[in-house]
Amino acid sequence: MAKSGLSGSSETIKVLKELEPDLFKDIRKKVNSELKPILNPIKSEINSSVTQEMREKMKGMFHNGRSSWSGVNITARVSTRPRDLIFINATGVKGQVGFDYAELAGIRRRGPRRMSKPYTLNGETRRHAVNGQGDEMIDKLRTEFGKPGRFAWIRVLRRKPEVERKVQDIADEFGIKLSRRLA
């Protein structure tokens, strides 16, 4: 299995953040400016053509609630996680979680709950029985759009070689070590 990435980059970034905060800010600005031309077309495609498809095929995703579809915002940021120099985040806009639900629907780490989490409605704390409401949405999304990671993740993966080249160029420009050992 082929591996890609800059080993030791998280340690380098942590040290830079502590010792050279201005240099860290410069790297962050460079990552944002270099990856915007790659990520913005993905964002535009999802917010236009995918949103139109969603309107036609998933009418229930368009309502006034918090879980409605509102499009996507994609950002890249410098990471201090092991093995990663950057972190690409795709999430719904305006505090809406409809995109997040649709992107990841079908990934289950545990079985469904019998009762909902407590929520407040008209000043009263309530719970309701969960009767498979989400399963219907998951089945419809899987049928119409494929497996989880169906909107942003699959598009980012298609452009992965381009993203890796840009990140490698940034790492080279700023002299980030390519080994785990820091001098």
pTM (predicted TM-score): 0.75
29-33: list long-range contacts, CB under 8 Å, 24+ apart. Answer: 30/170, 30/173, 30/174, 31/76, 31/77, 31/78, 31/85, 31/86, 31/167, 31/170, 32/75, 32/76, 32/77
pLDDT in tens, the chain (183 residues): 334 445 556 677 777 778 778 887 888 899 899 999 999 999 999 999 888 888 888 887 788 888 888 889 999 888 767 666 788 999 998 888 889 989 998 887 777 778 888 999 999 999 988 887 778 888 889 999 999 999 999 999 999 999 989 988 888 887 765 433 333
**Could you tell me the residue ranges of all domains in the chain?**
9-174
